Structure 1
Amino acid sequence: MRVMVLVKATGDSEKGFSPTPETMEMMEAMGRFNDELEAVGILVTADGLKPSSDGKRVAFNGSSRTVIDGPFTEARELVAGFWLWNVKDMDEAVAWVKRCPNPMPGPSEIEIRPLYEMSDWQ
C-alpha cells in the first residue's frame, strides 16, 4: 500500500529555514530516519517545502482560473514536507511515524493518507 505522509506546517516552518544548531540537529536526525526508511525499502521519495509565501494557488471555477499569491493563512492547514512510502498497511505506516523525530522545533503533526490504487477503481 502506498501512503503520503504529510508534515503539517507550523508558524515556525512558515518563517522559512534558518541554519541554527537546533535546526541542523533536527535535519541530521531526520536524515538518519530517512536512511532507515530507505534501508528497509519503505521510502519512495521525501522532501521539504518552502514556506507558502513562496507559493501560489490556482483557483478553478468552470473555465476561469485565478492565481493567488502566498503566503496562505492557517499554517496548521498547510504542508511543510512529505514522504511517499510503500508499506504493508496503515498500522505499519503509523508505527514508522511514531519513530520519526519531531520534524519541527515545537509541537507538530504528521498526517498519513493512503493513495488510490487501481484496485480501488474496479
Structure 2
Amino acid sequence: MKYMLIMRAVDQRAVENFESTDVNEVIAAMGAYNESMVDAGVLADGAGLSDAEEGSVVDFSDDDPVVTDGPYGELRELFNGFWVVDVSTKEEAIEWAKRAPLGPGSQLEVRRINDIDDFPQDNEWIQKEQEWIDQGKLKTSRG
C-alpha cells in the first residue's frame, strides 16, 4: 500500500526554524532521511515544493473557477512537500513519518493513496486507467 506523508508548517515556529537553519543542514537531514527510506526499500516518491508566492489556487466554489496567486490562505493550509512510501500497513507509514527530520510547528499528514483496485473494475474509466498503466502512458501510476 502506498501512503503519502504530507508536510505542513502549522505555525510560525516551523518557518522560523527553517529560516534560521543553514540550507545545507536542512538538505543533509532530509537527504539522510530519504536515504534511510531508500535503503529500506519503501520510498516511492517525494519532493519539496516551492514557496507559496510561486503557486496559485484554483477555487471551484463559484460556477467559474477563480484563480488566486500566492501567497494565499493561512500558514497551516500550506502543503510544503511530500513523500510517498510503499509499505505494508498504515502503522508502518506512521513510523516512517515519525522519523522525519521536522521540528516544532511542523506536521505530517499520513494518507493512503487509493489503488486502482479500490474502484469498481467494471467502470469504463477505471478500465481505461488500467490500460494507460499497462501501456506505460502514465508518467506515474497508482498500480
**Which deviations, in whole Å up to 9, do the C-alpha atoms of 1:59-88 show, x marking residues without a partner?**
2344x2321111112111211110111111
Letter in 1 for 2:100: C
SS at 1:91 equivalent: helix
> Larger strand proportion, structure 1 or 2?
1
Structure scoring higher RCO (CA < 8 A, sep ≥ 6) equals 1
**Corresponding residue number in structure 2 for 1:7:** 7
Unaligned runs of 5+ in 1: none
Scaled by the length of structure 2, what TM-score is found?
A: 0.70
Letter in 1 for 2:75: A
**Corresponding residue number in structure 1 for 2:112:** 114
**Corresponding residue number in structure 1 for 2:80:** 80
Runs of 4+ in 1 over 6 A off after TM superposition: 12-15
- Percent identity, please: 33
SS at 1:85 equivalent: strand
The CA distance in 1 between the partners of 2:15 and 2:33, in whole Å, is 23
Relative distance call for 1:112 and 1:94 in structure 2 (3 A) is same
Scaled by the length of structure 1, what TM-score is found?
A: 0.81
Give the root-mean-square deviation of aligned CA atoms.
Answer: 2.3
**Which deviations, in whole Å up to 9, do the C-alpha atoms of 1:8-64 show, x marking residues without a partner?**
13547779x76953x4213201101101111121111111111211111112344x2
Q: Are the counterparts in 1 of residues 46 and 84 from structure 2 also a CA contact under 8 Å? A: yes
Superposed, which structure 2 residues align to 1:86-105 within 5 Å? 86-102=86-102
Choose 1 or 2 for highest CA Rg: 2
